[in-house]
Structures are given as C-alpha cells and as structure tokens.
A and B are shown apart, each in its own frame.
Chain A
C-alpha cells in the first residue's frame, strides 16, 4: 500500500525536506526542498548552537512541514545528525523544535546515518559486486562498503565540508597553505577506511556533491543529466574555486553563496576519498538519507530505525534489492524507477519515459531559478528565463507521449504564457537598444521618427514589465509549481502502473483505470 511520507533532515548547513509516495519498495519523490540555516555556525569553534540558528531552524521546519502537509503527508519524521551529536546544547534544540513545531527530532548516530543513507542511495540501482556509498554533509562523512549488496563495513568521520572549512580556516578564496594542511590531514584520516576488496564504484550523496556536480557541468560544458564526477573534474572545479572568491563563483555558476563558500573544503574531501579508494571518479546521487528514512518508515512503520538497523546487521540488503521490480518485462528494458539520471554511457538504452521527467524537471527548476533576478528587472535574467521557458516547451512537446496529455498540455500552456510575458519585455529591450543605436548614428532627418518610435516602445515595455511582474509573482508562480507537481504525479502513476503490470501474469487484462492511463 502506498503512503505519502515526509522526512526532514536538520543538517549542519541546511534543513532539507522530501515528501514521497512509497510502499517501501518503490519510491517517488513529490517534493524536495531545502533551506540554508547554517545551524553549525559556531558549533565547531564554541561547542554550542546559537539561539539565532535555533530560531532559523524552527522557522525552516515550520515552513517545510507546511509544504509536507500541503502534499498530504501522513507522517513527518525529523532527524538531526552531526551538529546535534557535537553540540553541548542539543537538548535545547530538540525541546524547542518539539514545542514550536510539534514533532520531536531524533538524533541519529553516525552509523545509523550511514545505514539510512545506504538505503536511500542504493534504492532502485543495480549495484556492482563491490560498492562504496558515501554521504558528505556539513558536519560528517559517512561511508559504507558493500559487497554483493551485503553491507560489510561502515564508518562516520567528522570530515564534513562546513567542519573542515572552519577547522582549517581555509579563507576566501582558500589559501594554498591551508589547502595543503587539509589534504595532509585527510590522507591520514582516510587511511582508516578499510579496503576489504577493490571497490568498483563510489556513490556519493549530499548537498555538497550535488552542488559540485552542477558546477562541473557548467565548467566542463557537460550535459545537465550527467551524474559522473571524474577525478580530473574535481581538480578543475577546485582550480576555479581557488582562483576567485566564493561570491564570484556563486554568481558565475548560480550557486548559493553559502554553498559556494563551503564547496572547496567539500571538493578536497571528495578528492581525498576518491584517491583513497583508487577510483576514477564518483557517481553522484541526488537521493540520500531522507529517501532512506522514508523507505524504512514505509517498510517497518513505527519501528523504522530498528528495522533499518536489522537490514544491515542481518545482511538483508540483498533481499531489499530483490524486492525491486527489476524484471525487464520481456522487452529488454528495465522498468524500475530511478531518482536520477543513469550515467551517460547507459542513458541511450534507458526507456525514454524514465529520462523524460528528469529532463523536464531540471529545465523547470533552471527556469524558476532565474525568477528572482528577472523580477528584479535584470535584463539578462529575463532573456535567460525566456530561453529556459522555450526549452521547457520544446521538451514538453517532444516527450508529450510519455505523460497523460492533460498534465503535459497544462504545463506547456503555462510555460508558453510565461515565455510570452518574458518575451514581450525582452523584445522591447532589444528593440529600444537598436533604436537608440540608430538614433545616435542616423541622419538628422530620421531623428523625429526614431524618437517617436522610442517613446512608443518605452510605453510598451512599461506595460510588458507590469504584465511580467504579475506573471512571476505569488499565485501564478504557485500555479506553475503545482503544474510541475501534477506532471510528477502523472509520471509516478505511470511508474507504479508499469511495476504493477510487470508483477501480474501476462494473461490478466489491465484494469479500466490502467487502460485509461495507458
């Protein structure tokens, strides 16, 4: 039976929510949001969480819990990790959240954190015979090594990006001496990671590695769906970050400033881990601990944490994998659901429907990311957002057969309206620029006509800007989010129906509801 569950993770940098529909074997993320609160500010140096950060965390949780309720979440689980393990006043954080938000957060041990991350990251994946799964957070680095899907070794090390940044006073941009010290420290510390056999793949989750992936995609001109970080990519990204302050990196590569500040430390930790495991690179997973919590809660109910622990202690990872609908349905195409893009090498053979949603979602996010700057009147942001909206429309047109027609059409119409509103402002901007150039260079005889055209165009632009402001504010943009969510739900229904179809003997006809969706 499918349940709608939510998990909120209070990390060292962010408070992060996912809402997902799951039956414990399949999982479809309905919402994925995070808020930067920097809870760990001062914890590494002073040892306690400040009152300001606790208040910011409570506000973030209340907001995210509202989002979860909006999606109809039946249960919200809140956990906290390294920062709560380290701070002297953790009880103050816990009691404040309990009183102000009505839910008591659970402080996870490092090993529980590693276990749940493993559940979340490996869900729905084919694993090689030997794999390492890591979660790099702000406070800690969790690593699990599994062989033939059996967890064989796990650890939690205090090597999170925020902790390393603060402890080694990296500076902004990072100082070469501080970087050298951090590298030497990591080489020594990571020697603790056992190498029972050669690990074939390293899967990493967490905000740091996902932000790094976005940075590398831009630096190296890689596709948005690429989830592979090669060792050379880490060096290339670090070179960019060492050469300029975080503010410039954030602006140039559209990262959160807070994230850009911590990214050099995180990149150095990841590079050291790759070197320790002697691997060519990293597979980046957008899924992690929160997905692991939701899956465990769906599978084990109130006893979710103990159930997840039993999973690793009794070596039942193999059972968890077998429960996945990995049957190829006789047509050679795998049907189970992925959270992420498969690596590029396998992408060509993936069923189109499995890839379509991710491309559309990423394009919609890229477009919405520009909203604030476009709203503030930044002409380039208006142009970029218009291009992003057009790209989104093209994707919706191409992949329309992958979704129920009404959901794709509604989103397509909304994207068209947005593109038109953005286009009206952009066209007026370009026309005015052209007319101004002509006026500077033109024969005096043409000046009265050009001035009149400029006046008319300015009035048009003012009107177009008002229309655009309405289109980018409040209700309209909420509607757009809702349409994206509806398309997501439609995609989720398709995945669940595919799974149901595969698990049913072939002679059983589809139900009326399935036929309608098909």
Chain B
C-alpha cells in the first residue's frame, strides 16, 4: 500500500492562496498515486480510493474556486468524466459483492426439510445468481479497461497541466522560503517516477 503524499503544513495565518496550493497539490497528487493501480484489474479497493481522491479534488477545487482561473474548467470536465467512470466501476464491484452475499444467504440449510417446489425455486434462483455473477464480472472487466483508457488519454494529453499551472501561480505570492521557479509536471506528481 503506497503512502499518500501528505499536504505540507497548512497554517492558519498563511494567505488563502497558499493554503489553496497546499491543499490542491496534495489532493491532485493523491489521484496520481492511486492511478498506479488502475492497470491491475483485481485492485478494486485501490480503484475505489482513486475515485474518492478524484472526488475530494473536485470538492477542494470548489472550495477555492473564487481564486482559481477560468482556464482550469476543462480539467474539471476531465475529472468529472474520470469520477463517473470509476463510479460505474465501483457500482459493479458493489453489485458483485451483493450477489455473492445473496448466494450465501439463499443457500439451503443441510437437513432442512423443504418441499420439492421450494427446492426447485431456490435452485433456479441460485443458477440465475451464478449466471449474473459471471455477467457482472465480465462487465466489470470491460469497465476497468474503459477507465484505464480514459486515464491514459488524460495522461497523454497532460489534461491537468492548466491546474498545475494555476497552482504554481498561487505560489508566486510572498511566502517563507523560495518558491519553486518551475511548475511541476505530470511526471513529478507520478508515484512511478
């Protein structure tokens, strides 16, 4: 399990713009951290964490909207699309788990006397749930590939560059210590670098 890049200390007396930088930079970094696991189909937990990271980044962007430039609007669209794709993926994961639970709950108890009709009905239901489980697993795989393709497209276009540039601009305000003269690239944020 990777460690999430922590936010540098936000101080109550720092200018709001710098607080925006601290908070947004760490939230953006969190998306990149969890994205490392997107190519691995069986990392459902990590995919869900990436969705949460994307959602938190959007909420944080909302909080600081008043001081962010309009140029970041396309980033929000990409973020929404990513969040929606990962949301669908999570819904399928949740459905998969609920089918498994239903199969366990619907299992006839050994030695339990039941009439034939009831037994047959339960068997049909069990077969149906089993088939459904297979279908959902296939859907889930397809959705994981779609989410990955979307993320790869975002990365190839460097779609969050305007956001990184906006964050860099926020640090141009007076602060303790020297500001980094160049904005970070997608690679700087990537966990894989």
Write the residues of chain A forming the contact surface with B, with a CB cutoff of 8 angstroms: 223, 225-226, 331-333, 341, 344, 347-353, 355-356, 359, 390-391, 394-395, 398-399, 401-402, 427, 430-431, 434, 445-450, 452-453, 456-457, 494
Contacts and interface: CB of A to CB of B under 8 A. Distances in A.
B170 interface: yes
B128 A394 contact: no
B59 A452 contact: no
A453 B99 contact: yes
B16 A453 contact: no
A398 B91 CA distance: 28
B86 interface: no
A363 to B, nearest CB: 8
Interface string B123-143: 011111111100100000000
A349 B173 contact: yes
A276 to B, nearest CB: 29
Given A353-B12, A449-B131, A450-B128, A456 B105 contact: yes
Most chain B CB atoms below 10 A, which of A332, A351, A445, A452: A452
B79 interface: no
Contact of A431 (B23, B56, B94): B94
- Shortest Cβ-Cβ A-B pairs, 6 listed: A449-B128, A353-B12, A223-B66, A348-B17, A449-B129, A352-B19
A394 B20 CA distance: 13
- Chain B, interface size category, equals 35 or more
Given A352-B14, A431-B95, A446-B128, 19 more contacts: A223-B65, A225-B66, A347-B67, A351-B12, A351-B13, A351-B14, A352-B13, A353-B12, A391-B62, A398-B10, A398-B23, A398-B60, A401-B11, A431-B98, A445-B131, A446-B135, A449-B102, A449-B125, A452-B106
Contacts of A401: 9-12
A34 to B, nearest CB: 26
B60 A434 contact: no
A348 B63 contact: no
A352 B128 contact: no
B94 A427 contact: yes
B15 interface: yes
A352 B95 contact: no
Contacts of A398: 7, 10, 19, 23, 60, 63
24 contacts: A348-B20, A348-B67, A349-B17, A350-B16, A351-B14, A351-B16, A352-B11, A390-B55, A394-B56, A395-B63, A398-B10, A398-B19, A398-B60, A399-B10, A401-B11, A401-B12, A430-B91, A446-B132, A448-B128, A450-B132, A452-B129, A453-B99, A453-B132, A456-B105
Contacts of B126: 449
B108 interface: no
A347 B17 CA distance: 8
Nearest to A335: B13
Nearest to A494: B12
B6 interface: no
Contacts of A449: 99, 102, 125-132
Contacts of A332: 174
B13 A353 contact: yes
B125 A347 contact: no
Given A431-B95, A452-B125, A452-B129, A347 B16 contact: yes
Contacts of B66: 223, 225-226, 341, 344, 347
Contacts of A430: 91
A514 B11 CA distance: 17
A450 B56 CA distance: 33
Interface in B138-161: none
Given A431-B98, A452-B129, A456-B98, A352 B105 contact: no
Given A430-B91, A452-B106, A453-B98, A352 B16 contact: yes
A439 to B, nearest CB: 11
A433 B114 CA distance: 33
A389 to B, nearest CB: 11
Given A349-B15, A431-B98, A453-B98, A359 B128 contact: no
Interface in B9-50: 9-20, 23
A457 B126 CA distance: 17
Most chain A CB atoms below 10 A, which of B10, B12, B59, B62: B12
B124 to A, nearest CB: 5
Given A352-B14, A352-B16, A352-B19, A391 B59 contact: yes
B137 to A, nearest CB: 14
Contacts of B94: 427, 431
B95 A434 contact: yes
Contacts of B95: 431, 434
A351 B15 contact: yes
B15 A350 contact: yes
Most chain B CB atoms below 10 A, which of A390, A401, A457: A401
